[in-house]
Amino acid sequence: MADEVITPQRGPYVMEVGPGTVYWCRCGRSKTQPYCDGSHTGTGFAPIEVEFRERQRVAFCGCKHTKKPPFCDGSHSRI
């Protein structure tokens, strides 16, 4: 289904990011996880724009079921 979330990874993508703007993939279809590559085209999904003012270590959600997008909230342990 085009409007169904795909889980590309059960755990988070832990990485250093910033400064700058990134676009977190919300649908799970991107080949450049956790970032959007436009694969959501034709679905009801759109990426989430995230701006980082300084370099920091973050945990982006990999399961796409977080209640605090784009960051991991542990939802992967319940799916």
Residue 72 token pair: 């991991």
pLDDT band, residue 1 (cuts 50/70/90): low
pTM for this structure? Answer: 0.93
Residue 2 has pLDDT above 80, yes or no: no
Average pLDDT of 57-68?
Answer: 98
Nearest residue to 7 via CA among 66, 59, 49, 57: 66
Average pLDDT of 17-33?
Answer: 98
Nearest residue to 67 via CA among 56, 57, 58, 78: 78
